[in-house]
């Protein structure tokens, strides 16, 4: 496709007249794939030199649990991104699950409240999926609307107060140690094994990549495109609730701000790890590396004693750089 604009300056030149060399394409592609693991190693080395406190066992434990929570949520977000969608309601769902379990814990048995939380999450995921596939609402808008609705519902329900004690079982699956490792990491590992198997070895996994790669072709190939998307959204919401339960087990109480950053961070982690916005490309190893990078950076802000608002700037910077890199990579690869 040729640009038809007669004049072109740096400011206005349309990139369609831009001819990348094969080498540039190759380098950008490699950078997109390996940026997260390489950055993680670099950060670990830098931490060893400048902030040895980081390797303190207590701190490693904290990092491990934070990594597990974000890791669980990011698996769901990756699935949703793989089918060319996005879920901005994960943070609200995450907090909602904790609220449900803590509030109902007083009255009913733990199993019942856990089932309630999972059912609510599945319902939210289903509604998200339906709005996006059957009503044709852009994913950003549908899940953003859901975010506001859930936050409103939670505020109306809790009146904005911090609440409750967290059931012992949740404390157990979060901060108990199994040998050396916090239990949260084991939950994360189980989730990852299940979904790596699902994505690599099952028909559903192939469908997810196919739908993200080309929805129209998938439809002609007889794949139930709408249902694959709805399933991805449902899984994402359920994993968000699971993340919320582990997180509340770690923190020990449920407050208004619980989990507010998880939208941003789960998307950033997946994108940093090489998942494309355009769907159909990315994997859970990359996402795990992205999660590790984000959690390490956020923790280093604390360990190095920098003002806490650096965390915001750090999150934003990682997201912008990763999005820019991946966007450029997809643009080059698609030519």
Instruction: State the residues that interact with another protein by CB under 8 A.
Output: 1, 3-6, 11-16, 86, 131, 135-138, 140-142, 144-146, 148-153, 155-156, 159-160, 264, 267-268, 271, 277, 307, 309-320, 323-328, 330-331
Write down the least CB distance from residue 198 to another protein, Å: 26
CA 260 to chain centre: 13
Write down the least CB distance from residue 265 to another protein, Å: 10
Residue number with CB closer to another protein (170 or 229):
229
Write down the least CB distance from residue 148 to another protein, Å: 4
Residue number with CB closer to another protein (64 or 327):
327
Distance CA(202)–CA(160), nearest Å, equals 43
Write down the least CB distance from residue 85 to another protein, Å: 12
Residue number with CB closer to another protein (10 or 21):
10
CB 128 within 8 Å of CB 146 = yes
Write down the least CB distance from residue 97 to another protein, Å: 18
The token duo for 236 is 């994402």
Residue number with CB closer to another protein (155 or 221):
155
Residue number with CB closer to another protein (134 or 201):
134
């Amino acid at each position: 496709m040729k640009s038809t604009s007669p004049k072109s300056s740096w400011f206005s030149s349309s990139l369609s007249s831009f001819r990348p060399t094969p080498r540039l394409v190759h380098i950008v592609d490699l950078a997109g794939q390996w940026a997260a693991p390489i950055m993680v190693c670099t950060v670990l080395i830098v931490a060893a030199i400048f902030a040895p406190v980081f390797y303190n066992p207590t701190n490693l434990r904290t990092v491990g649990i934070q990594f597990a929570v974000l890791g669980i949520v990011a698996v769901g977000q990756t699935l949703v991104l793989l089918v060319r969608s996005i879920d901005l309601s994960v943070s609200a769902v995450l907090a909602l699950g904790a609220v449900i379990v803590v509030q109902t814990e007083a009255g009913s048995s733990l199993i019942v409240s856990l089932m309630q939380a999972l059912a609510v999450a599945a319902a939210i995921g289903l509604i998200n999926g339906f709005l996006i596939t059957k009503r044709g609402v852009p994913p950003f808008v549908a899940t953003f609307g859901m975010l506001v609705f859930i936050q409103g519902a939670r505020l109306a329900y809790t009146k904005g107060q911090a609440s409750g004690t967290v059931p012992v079982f949740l404390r157990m699956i979060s901060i108990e140690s199994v040998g050396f490792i916090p239990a949260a990491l084991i939950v994360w590992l189980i989730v990852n094994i299940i979904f790596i198997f699902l994505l690599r070895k099952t028909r559903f996994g192939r469908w997810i990549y196919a739908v993200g790669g080309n929805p129209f072709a998938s439809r002609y190939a007889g794949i139930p495109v709408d249902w694959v998307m709805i399933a991805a959204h449902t899984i994402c919401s359920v994993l968000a609730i699971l993340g919320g339960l582990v997180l509340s087990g770690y923190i020990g109480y449920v407050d208004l701000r619980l989990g507010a950053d998880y939208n941003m961070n789960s998307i950033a982690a997946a994108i940093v790890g090489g998942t494309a916005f355009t769907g159909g490309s990315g994997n859970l190893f990359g996402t795990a590396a992205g999660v590790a990078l984000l959690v390490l950076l956020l923790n280093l802000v604390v360990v190095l004693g920098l003002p806490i608002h650096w965390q915001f700037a750090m999150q934003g910077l990682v997201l912008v750089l990763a999005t820019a890199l991946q966007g450029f990579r997809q643009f080059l690869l698609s030519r």
